[in-house]
Structure 1
């Protein structure tokens, strides 16, 4: 796991709202044939892990093909900090990751175009195999965390790292 910025969420006030945007996909490597797992959002574990550090979490999924909507914008306007997850999918990596990158770009642009009192921090969490040319360019993001896999244990590590003061 690698974090490319020394910023963290450690200084987030307890009354602040932390917005978590996650893709509505099945992460690569996740078993999909277990009936108990079919109706569970795989990123719920990340939301729960984050709630151990901060109680005001708003978890809002996004559909990569649909992108950033007015609903996402409404939640974004109430956020004090934002986490956008992009994750390697089981199938159609180029298209799905491209759409997830577009969503993250749109969220960043919406933050720039909204009258925030100061720009709330946006953290990008990129989960999946770092090898391969299917990842979109993410150089416009200052706070990027990269992890090779996504599973419940990794979700706990991501949450800890996001709140870890440097």
Structure 2
């Protein structure tokens, strides 16, 4: 299926998948760290910084990571300002960033829906990308959540602690 997509769409899907995997891996490392307060703080602070990064990949990782932390009830809903997430949604034209922002807004459980405030052509583009993303990545992400991440967790923790592995990834992602 991915081979029939435009190069840009394929590239954007690959970025979205890699960013999702990075955020998921960080959360699994946090689990290995027994959800320590210092680990939660490290990831929450990094994610809050990353959502404002210039680099698209960093921004998407931050949005996904915040959503995972929120769903696991490791960050408070009040700590995430809806206005900041809406700003990210409206200022970014990339579908992968917008979908990550929408997922986080959905986890926040607040309305109204920002999609209602964009043009019909932007909505169509977002729906098309979302549909392609579901087709292309669901099996990949399901396989990764089922067992693939364990290999990555073991690789990251080889000779070190879960917290140190999280720190290394956080430093690797950086701010920009």
Class of the TM-score when normalised by the shorter of the 2 chains: 0.3 to 0.5
Normalising by the residue count of structure 1, what TM-score does the alignment of the two structures yield? 0.36
The structure carrying a bigger strand percent of its residues is: 1
The structure carrying a bigger helix percent of its residues is: 2
The structure that has the greater radius of gyration is 2
Normalising by the residue count of structure 2, what TM-score does the alignment of the two structures yield? 0.34
Q: Which has the higher contact order (CA 8 A, sep 6+)?
A: 1
